[in-house]
Structure 1
Amino acid sequence: MDRIAIIGCGGSGKSTVARKLARILDVPLVHLDAIYYDEHWTPLPRDEFAAQQERLVSGERWIIEGNYASSLPIRLAAADTVIFLDLPAAACLWGIVQRRWRYRGGQHQANGVYDRITWNFVRYILGYRHTMRPRVRSLLRDHGPHVQLITLTSRRHANRFLDRV
Structure 2
Amino acid sequence: MNLDTLGPRICILGPSNSGKSTLADAIAAKQGLEPIHLDRLYHLPHTDWQPRPAGEFLTLHDAAIAGERWVMDGNYSSCLPQRLARATGLILLDLSTPLSLWRYARRTWFERDRRGALDGGRDSVKWSMIRHIVVATPPNRKRYAQLYARCELPKVLCPSARALARRYREWGLAR
TM class by shorter-chain length? 0.7 to 0.9
Which residue among 58, 67, 71 is the counterpart of 1:63?
71
Give a deviation string over 1:60-109, Cα, whole Å, max 9, x none: 110111121121112111111111110110111111122123325xxx6x
Inter-CA distance 141–45: structure 2 relative to 1 (3 Å threshold): farther
Work out whether residues 35 and 49 of structure 1, in 8 Å CA contact, stay in contact via their aligned partners in 2: yes
2:21 aligns with: 15
Please give the secondary structure, in 1, of the residue aligned with 2:85.
helix
The CA distance in 2 between the partners of 1:32 and 1:116, in whole Å, is 19
Inter-CA distance 138–52: structure 2 relative to 1 (3 Å threshold): farther
1:77 counterpart letter in structure 2 = A
Work out whether residues 14 and 85 of structure 1, in 8 Å CA contact, stay in contact via their aligned partners in 2: yes
Taking only aligned residues, the RMSD between alpha carbons, in angstroms, comes to 2.1
2:70 counterpart letter in structure 1 = W
Aligned residues: 159
Find out whether 1:87 has 2:101 as its counterpart.
Answer: no
Which residue among 76, 84, 87 is the counterpart of 2:84?
76
Find out whether 1:150 has 2:156 as its counterpart.
Answer: yes
Question: Structure 1 residue runs of 4+, over 3 Å off?
Answer: 137-142
- Percent identity over paired residues: 34
The CA distance in 2 between the partners of 1:42 and 1:130, in whole Å, is 24
The CA distance in 2 between the partners of 1:140 and 1:120, in whole Å, is 27
Cα deviation, residue 154, structure 1: 1.7
Inter-CA distance 44–124: structure 2 relative to 1 (3 Å threshold): same
- The gaps in structure 1 that reach 5 residues or longer are none
Q: Normalised by the size of structure 2, how large is the TM-score?
A: 0.80
Q: Normalised by the size of structure 1, how large is the TM-score?
A: 0.84
Give a deviation string over 1:95-132, Cα, whole Å, max 9, x none: 1122123325xxx6x84225343222112211345321
1:112 aligns with: 116
- The gaps in structure 2 that reach 5 residues or longer are 1-6
Query: Higher strand fraction: Structure 1 or Structure 2?
Result: 1
The CA distance in 2 between the partners of 1:56 and 1:128, in whole Å, is 27
1:113 counterpart letter in structure 2 = A
